[in-house]
Amino acid sequence: MLPITPVHETPAQIETHVEKKQRIETTVAMPKAKQIRYEHCQHGDVRVDNYQWMREKGPDLEAHLDDWNTYTKQQLEPMKPFTDKVYEEFMGRIEHDSKSVPYKNGEYYYYIRMEKGREHEIYCRTHGLDGPEEILLDVNEEAEKYDYLNVAKSCPSPDGKYIIYGYDTDGSQFGTLYIQEVGKEGFHEVSFPDSDFDVEWNARSDGFWYVTHDENKASKYVYHHKMGETQKDDVLYFTEEEESFNVGILQDKLQRYILINSYCKNSSETRYGDLNHPHPEFKVIKPRSEDYLYHIIPGDGEHFVLVTANKKNAKLMRVSGEDFDPEKWVEFLATDDQIEIEQVAHHRHHLAITTRERGLPKLRFYDKTDDEWHYIDLPQEIGSVGIIGIQDYDSQSIRYVFSSPVTPDSTYEFDTSEHSMVLLKQKKAGDFDPSQFTARRIFARADDGTEIPMSIFHKKGIELDGTNSFFLYGYGSYGYSIDPNFSIITPSFVERDVICAIAHIRGGGYFGRPWYEEGKLLKKKNTFTDFINCAEHVIKDGYTSPENLVIRGASAGGLLMGAVLNARPDLFKAALVQVPFVDVLTTMLDTKLPLTKEEWPEWGNPEEEEFYYYMKSYSPVDGIEAQRFPALYVEGGLNDAQVQIHEPAKWVAKLLDYKTDDNPILFEINKKAGHHGASGRYEAYAENAPRYAFLLDQLGFKE
């Protein structure tokens, strides 16, 4: 009997029996991980974990991850034409040939160039602004030697003879320092492994200070290297002994002091050494204490100190003299619960700061000549602003970058003596037309009555009839404020009439330190309920509906995704979950893992019973139940030192055990990179294209 052919199919569309058999044989089933029962026991509580074996990387885990990559690639194949279109949209907004604004260091102006078709940056300089270009390092050529390369540091010596580069070759955000003598091939034989890329040159360019980490990737050791000697001759000046603390270094603009800052999430301690002495002795400025952080901003006989204490927003102190004596600190600029100081740049004639005032970014400066504060107007109310440090202490200029959803990154320079401003550079964004879009704030009401802000970005004239597609992003940890800025990805959504939004939930820093404190430790669940309340608000107010609402979170934002998906999966159509911190309780109990103890001030110490049960109540892996989940695209990095790959792998495996729906779940593992994905720019956008195409596809867009 001949097969009955549907009338709408053409002969070219008909699969033969042979073709169908071949397709079925090459179809890869969704990977199911093996189960090995393991019991976690703490405080008399037993948690069964069938996937604890994944913590130990080995052939079984690698094979399982390979299966997921094969399966995910296969599932994405029908979307490839759409993914290619999304990628081409990204490419239409990228600056293929670009040059950064030069900055002056000594007699040279340094900058970075990008060339069309090439993945990586090219480090260059000129002698004077109009001098001929000198190529210092072409990272494209260096990248051919590695599977992964990110040049995380470039630090020229004051005399311009040497440059130190920091090479991260696995995506771990740590690596090796190399010294280049400009004009000579290759690097010096002496290299410096175990680096976190924190480095400062001596004023005489005859040596430098640097920081290295221990076996747990904690920054612990401050060394000084003298040029011409081997690394084994380097002098160890300081070791941070406290397990939860890291260490960093800073040299003042006048190169008189080297500061060693020991810090954790809620405490800090700074030592200073006088660089006029060949072997400086370091003195503690103010001993560390709980809930007290301070940051020294040195000057010429007059210094400033940014102090965050008692869970309140930072205030600015001023001190005169050469010893930074805390007994002489005098309050210079007070704040309140709605004003937070974020950046401070100190120069001879002025002090520039960025603040967050009622959640909105501001830029102002104190003019020492007239003893007055002055605001600098920003292009839009909704956006982000950051000061770019100018090395010259005597400079009367403030250089800063402003960005917003409708304004590509724009670098300005403001003259504090003339009160004049010039736009130095604005990134191009192809044919994106900002005049057709608007950015604004709306507020959702949390369960406890708190108003939760959202920054939203959409095409002008959209009707609030409940049918709009909506893309909601959240983070909400560590006091970080995720400000709305320009992205070449977002237009692929708003140009399709998707509304894009950031939920400024508690645990982040949108309203400063108190906002952060209300979303950490035993108040962490505010972060998750805030996000749920934001989703409920945009549905109730007619922006969208659950079948048109997709969400995204990464790292601690991946924890957010896991928690809200467990609590209210019915609110969402799909989720993009990247490098997610989802096995919270198990990780925070495992002190052998990097970062665990230094994370306790953020999440709590589950060795204490109260924290244990509170963390268990929201930990995504522990909270999975039998229910329907939305479509999921999960992404992890094999070399991720911050969220190790077993966390998303365990989460995905357990989700498959419990989910009662047939919605797609994809799991992609970058085997060459870590927490931040690919290092090459085209490669990074090629990685992102299928992820965002997946979300658009779930919203019903096919082209």
Residue 81 main-chain phi, psi, to 5 deg: -60, -40
- CB of 360 within 8 A of CB of 333? no
Q: Give the residue among 563, 588, 574 at the shortest CA–CA distance from 643.
A: 588
Strands (E), 574-630: 574-578
Residue 640 is among the residues annotated as catalytic for this protein: yes
Catalytic residue among 346, 640, 646, 679: 640
Provide DSSP, 463-515.
Answer: --SS---EEEEE---TT--------SSTHHHHTTT-EEEEE--BTBSTT-HHH
Q: How far apart are CA 525 and CA 617, in angstroms?
A: 9
Amino acid at 399: R
Residue 555 is among the residues annotated as catalytic for this protein: yes
Q: Give the residue among 551, 584, 542, 554 at the shortest CA–CA distance from 570.
A: 551
Please name the residues in contact with 516: beta carbons below 8 A apart, sequence gap of 6 or more.
Answer: 478, 479, 506, 507, 508, 509
Q: How far apart are CA 184 and CA 611, in angstroms?
A: 57
Catalytic residue among 675, 676, 679, 697: 675
Q: Give the residue among 623, 359, 394 at the shortest CA–CA distance from 511.
A: 359
> How many Cβ atoms are within 10 Å of 593's Cβ, its own excluded?
17
3-state secondary structure of 530: helix
Q: Which two tokens stand for residue 238?
A: 């300081």
Q: Which two tokens stand for residue 565?
A: 């998906």
Q: Angle formed by the axes of helices 80-93 and 681-698, to 10°?
A: 130
Q: Angle formed by the axes of helices 556-567 and 525-540, to 10°?
A: 60
How far is CA 550 from each of CA 270, 489, 504, 528, 700, rounded to the nearest angstrom? 44, 15, 17, 16, 12
Q: Give the residue among 123, 116, 154, 127 at the shortest CA–CA distance from 138.
A: 123
Q: Give the residue among 634, 640, 633, 635 at the shortest CA–CA distance from 672.
A: 640
Residue 616 main-chain phi, psi, to 5 deg: -60, -35
Q: How far apart are CA 602 and CA 584, in angstroms?
A: 12
Residue 675 is among the residues annotated as catalytic for this protein: yes
DSSP H or E segment with residue 455: strand 451-459
Q: In the β-sheet with 397-404, what is the strand arrangement from edge to edge?
A: 384-388, 397-404, 407-415, 420-426
Residues 583, 585, 587, 588, CA torsion sign? positive
Place of tokens 């400009």: 182
Please name the residues in contact with 146: beta carbons below 8 A apart, sequence gap of 6 or more.
Answer: 169
Place of tokens 């400024």: 504
How far is CA 573 from each of CA 382, 457, 538, 546, rounded to the nearest angstrom? 28, 20, 14, 6
Classify residue 176 as exposed, middle or buried by CB count within 10 Å of its CB (0-12, 13-18, 19+): middle
- C-alpha angle with apex 194: 193 to 199, nearest 5 degrees? 85
Dihedral, CA atoms, 323, 324, 328, 332, nearest 10 degrees?
150
How far is CA 201 from each of CA 135, 446, 641, rounded to the nearest angstrom? 21, 49, 28
Q: How far apart are CA 312 and CA 508, in angstroms?
A: 14
> Half-sphere exposure of residue 278, counting CA atoms within 13 Å on the CB side?
2
- CB of 541 within 8 A of CB of 454? no
How far is CA 536 from each of CA 33, 469, 484, 508, rounded to the nearest angstrom? 35, 14, 21, 20
3-state secondary structure of 229: coil
Catalytic residue among 395, 555, 619, 679: 555
Task: Give me the active site residues, please.
Answer: 555, 640, 675
